[in-house]
Structure formats: structure tokens, C-alpha cells
Chains A and B, each alone.
Chain A
Amino acid sequence: MRRLIAASTVFLAVTPVFLDETPAHEWSGSVAVEGRLFPSDPLFPEQRSQGVSLSTQPEYYHEWAGGSSITAVPFVRLDSADDERTHIDLREFFFLWVPEAFEVGIGIRKVFWGVTESQHLVDIINQTDVVEYPDGEDKLGQPMLNVSVLREWGTLDLFVLPYFRERTFPGPRGRLRTSVVVETGQARFESGAKAHHVDMAVRYSHTLGDWDIGVSHFRGTGREPTLLLDTSPSGDLVLVPFYEQIAQTGLDLQWVVEVWLWKLEIIHRTGQADDLFAWTGGFEYTVTGIAGSRMDLGVIGEWLYDDRGDGTTTPFENDLMSGLRLAVNDVASTELLVGVIQDLDSAARMFSVQGSRRLSDHWKLDVEILLFTEQDPDELLFGLRDDDVVQLTLAYHF
């Protein structure tokens, strides 16, 4: 740490100072209370029908005049229903150095790649924090060295990822889990180095007029484990995550045509039982000032395809997502996103509602609803068939 600070002091001396006011020792973040209600009886007697949970995610940020900065974002959740959901994570804790035409980040970071809304195929750097919410948007902090080369011809990002983060899974008392509990303590790795295998990734991204393009390649421990049936030391049937060594190539494209956004993400992955080719493609169309109001309405349509079919570890092997996004554009920034993901090979369907509204300068209310209907026994979401959930989050932001 001391060396880092010393290094940054050197850069301070050589980098021209352009903004005389930089954020110094800045604190922000949020504290939230969340209530979850599961209207249907659980499949298993140990599962709970409601839960209350407290979480906080403070953020510390300090920037030196040359543009170098340090960011620290711890996260804590205490959950009344599921011990696995009670967890701590360091979402971010990194030093960023910004010399001319480069960006060098060292520490624990979050990185997002991709363009689509329904799922994020290309996004592979950070592990998914599944216990937070099943939509895959919450991520665990990833230790890394990241060098970005910023040039006229685009941005080249190089990643060295020296430590692997295992996926979180709900515990026996938790809802929104597989019928057979995932025993994370028994996780297995293809690599002898286990979580210490050094993963590598590279990504090129560029904007060409109305096109945003990204091409990426990842080599290392797969973020999406294969779940193997096994027994626990106490003799219970459990699922054990198995993390293979994979290679994944990804492409993401977005094209802006007036009020249309056309999006495509494609991945090819090798290293798991079957090679995988998957893509998500679609559009987002936005109308402003609907019916003479100041509200914006967005229509989203995406097709999700995965060539492994029923053998997939994702529930979306041939599905259609359609959604409506309403932005009221009022003082409270009221927003509503309603979506349906329909399986094209069966009647299985998942409804999702996400709403948010600011109550005051510091308080915000979020509502999230997930409904699972007509799930087939051979569908991955079958275990969630009685886990319709209504979640209310009241957060204080500072």
C-alpha cells in the first residue's frame, strides 16, 4: 500500500493538473431494508415464506490531482431466512492510475461488458452474486490487474485475474434455489491451482459512428459451474459446483438507428462437456412524450438462444423476451420495467416487474416481482415453480 502511494506521488509530479478541485476522501453509499414475500407454500418444509434483510454498501473515494484514485466499496447483507444470503463482499477496492492514453487498475473491481437487457452472455469478468437476486445483475468483486490502452483506433483492455470467486447459491432454508441444494463448500475445480488459477482476458472495443463494437476473449476458470449430483459428508444428496477451465470468445454489437437500438451478443465457449454457441439479439425502441405526457415508453424485444438445448446450465435455450420500460420523468424519477421471458419450446414463462420511485432526496423505494408459470419438470427453473416472489426494498442513500 505504501509503495502504491509513493508511486502515485511520483505521477502527481509529472502529470499536468487540470482540475483544481478533485473529490477528496468522499463517502457515499446506501443502507437498505428489504422484505421478501413468497405467496406460495414452499416445496420443502425447511424453506421460509418470508424474509427480512438489511444491507449496506458504503463507498469511499479519493482522487489525487493527477487523476489517480482509490475506491473502496464493501458490501454486507444480513438475512433472516437464508444463512447463505447473509454474506460479506468487497465489491471494489482498487487503485486507478491514469497516465496519458492508458488506464491501469489494480485491486478488486467490477467490469461490465455487453449491450443486451435480458441476460449478459459476454459479461464474464465478475462472478454472479446469485443470492442477491436471481436476475444475474449483482456481481462479486474480482481481483485483477487491468490495463486499458486508449487509442484513436479503439480501446484495448488486458486483464490478469489472479484469484477466482465462486458463485453464491441459496442455502437449504432459502427460496429461489434448485430442488437439490447446492453445497458450495464441496466445490471442485478442473485446475489443480483451484481458485488460484490465473485467468486472462482481453477485450477490444470501439465506437464507429452509430456502431458500438466489442470483441473479447477469456481463458481460465469458467464463471458458470456445472452442477454435479453428489452426497454430502452427512449422506444428503447435494449438487456440487464444478468449475472447468474454459475459453470463451465474445462479440457484442449495438447499432443506433434514430430511436431504435439494435443489439447483439454472441459467445462461443469450449472446455465444458459440450462446446457452446449462444446469442442474445434484439432491439429497444423508445417513444418520448407518450399521449401528450412527458413519459417515455421503451419497447424491448430479445431472442435468447443457446445451442446446448436441454443440457444447459442456463434456463434460456430458446426463449423470447419482451418488455416495456416506462419512465414517468417526474420529480420522483418513477420507473417501471415489465418483462416476460417465454420459452419457445414449451409453455414455461417467467414474468418480471421492477419498479422504483424516489420518496425524498435520500429515500428510495424499489419493488421487484418474479413469477414462474408452467415450468416443465425438465426445465432448469422447475425448482422455482412455487417461488414467485415479491420484494420491497427501502433504501437510504447518502
Chain B
Amino acid sequence: MKRLLCLSVLALFLLPRLAQAETPEEKGRAIAVEADARDTGFGDSTADLVMILKNRHGQESTRRIRNRTLEVSGDGDKSLVIFDRPADIKGTAMLTFTHKVGHDDQWLYLPALKRVKRISSANKSGSFMGSEFAYEDLASQEVEKYTDRWLRDEEYGGQSCFVIERDPVDPRSGYTRQVVWIDQSEYRTLKIDYYDRKNALLKTLTYHGYQQYLGQYWRADEMVMVNHQTGKSSRLMFENYKFRTGLQDKDFTKNSLKRAR
């Protein structure tokens, strides 16, 4: 008994030191893991997206897309993106199998030719539909794709946030690093600063209008990406979020890609 007590006293002394011993890297990783854990178990989701591209003169152009996502346990999500507008790309669809490690698998369906074309997902830094979003900004954000480092805690948008830096593991990423603001109460991403390959601030993404679904999963109604180097911006608005709609693996195949409407 006495020894136990002794031990616990010892432990009391040790605890704060252990906490101090957590490196910024460990803390950053722990935050990323917790954010990921809180988003685990949603099953599948569908959403309608409207994307508004704005050039530096303020001229706007609209895109309409639908998204279907299937959570895959033990690996990255599967997603099917269907393009509805502009009318000339209607019926075009993209299937992605995200992987925690290595490159994603990606196929594009070209409806005029009825052709399913395997494409290289290594070119992840490319623009998505002419917008300020790169493919990698919209891909499933797996913990394994970054190395994390906690920078500081600070207020952002009236909320206490962790600020972490994450460096893409993939050398083909368009970024050297990203600085991410995550709120401490719900672990939602509120803002990301993207630094280009020359380590200059390239873009800022902000999340707006978070809503909670199934009493657990937070999704933003709007994402705004501003390119600081060109003055262009893109707004991505999400409507009609639905969860656990019953989507299965068979809804994410090359055949279902051809059928997707």
C-alpha cells in the first residue's frame, strides 16, 4: 500500500514532465489523429456542390457538381464526382480511391466517347475545373499524407484554436507546408494557409457555416479559397448533405462511373 502511494506520488511529479516531453510533432500528430477519429464512422455521404469561380476583375463563372463518398475502413475514402454544369461537360464523372499510403487510383469518364480513362493521380497539384482548388485540396485528407507539428494555440473567429503546420509527405504536392487552424472544442478545420514550393503564401482556404450531422459529423456549408498571388478566388458551396444513404462498394466501380448521373 505504502509503495503504491509512493508510486502515485512519484507519478504526480512525473506527469507534468511527461506532458512537457510531448514534442510539437507529437502534439500536432495527436490533434490530427483526434480530428480524424471524430470524423470516423459516417459511413457514406452525398452532397450537391456549386462552385463559383471569380477572376480578379470580379467576373464569375458557375460549376455544378455532385459528390458521393464512401468511407473505407483501414484505407482512404472512395469518391465519385459527377459534373453537371457547364452543359458541355455534363455527364463527365471522376472516380477516386484514396489510399493512406501511396498514390490514389483515379478514373475519368468521358461521356462523348463512352470512355473510362485511368488518369495519373500523381498530378495532384493541378487545378480542379479551372478553380483555385487543386485536386489535393479536395481529396480525402488522410492523416498519413502529412507530417504534423503543433505551432501554437490562438483565437481565430472567436474560437480557441490549435494552429498546426502540416507538410505533405508526397514530393509531388504543390505545397511545402500548410498552416491549419483547428478549433479546440470540435476539432473542425477553420482555415488553411497554403505555402507554395518556394515557401511563399499562395492561397488561403476558409470554412464557413459548419453544421453537425447525425449528432456527430461536422460539415461546412461553404469553403472559400483565395489565391493571394493572382487575386482570383473560388467559392464552393455544399447543399443537400445526406449521410448513410446506403451506398456500397459496388456504387464506386468503373461500371458505376459510366452509369453515374
Contact = CB atoms under 8 A, between A and B. Distances in A.
Interface in B222-261: 245-247, 250-251, 253-255, 259, 261
A163 B63 CA distance: 41
B261 A150 contact: no
Contacts, number: 108
Interface stretch (A47-55, A311-319, A357-365, A378-386): A357-365
Contact of B123 (A63, A110, A259, A331): A259
A38 B53 CA distance: 39
A214 to B, nearest CB: 11
A274 interface: no
Interface in A309-341: 329-333
A395 B247 contact: no
A259 B122 contact: yes
B246 A16 contact: yes
B114 A398 contact: no
B140 interface: no
Interface stretch (A96-104, A166-174, A224-232, A347-355): A96-104
B53 A331 contact: yes
Contacts of A332: 130
24 contacts: A18-B246, A18-B247, A18-B251, A19-B245, A23-B261, A30-B88, A67-B259, A69-B259, A103-B259, A112-B114, A115-B117, A115-B118, A155-B254, A207-B254, A261-B118, A286-B120, A286-B123, A289-B174, A361-B85, A361-B87, A362-B88, A397-B86, A397-B87, A397-B88
B90 interface: yes
B46 A19 contact: yes
A115 B245 CA distance: 34
A362 B87 CA distance: 6
Size class of the contact patch on chain A: 35 or more
Interface in B90-133: 90-91, 103, 105, 113-120, 122-123, 125-127, 129-130
Given A61-B261, A361-B87, 15 more contacts: A16-B246, A18-B247, A19-B46, A22-B261, A28-B87, A30-B88, A101-B250, A112-B113, A148-B255, A155-B254, A261-B119, A287-B123, A289-B126, A330-B130, A358-B88
A14 to B, nearest CB: 15
B126 A294 contact: yes
A159 to B, nearest CB: 14
Q: Which of B62, B90, B120 has the most CB of A within 10 A?
A: B120
Contact of A364 (B62, B85, B88, B251): B88
A30 B87 CA distance: 9
Given A16-B246, A150-B253, A212 B118 contact: yes
B120 A260 contact: yes
B61 interface: yes
A284 B87 CA distance: 28
Contacts of A100: 250
Contacts of B172: 258-259
Contacts of B86: 358, 361-362, 397
A43 interface: no
Nearest to A261: B120
B23 interface: no
B126 A296 contact: yes
A111 interface: yes
Contacts of A103: 255, 259
Contacts of B259: 67, 69, 96, 98, 103
B130 A331 contact: yes
A256 interface: yes
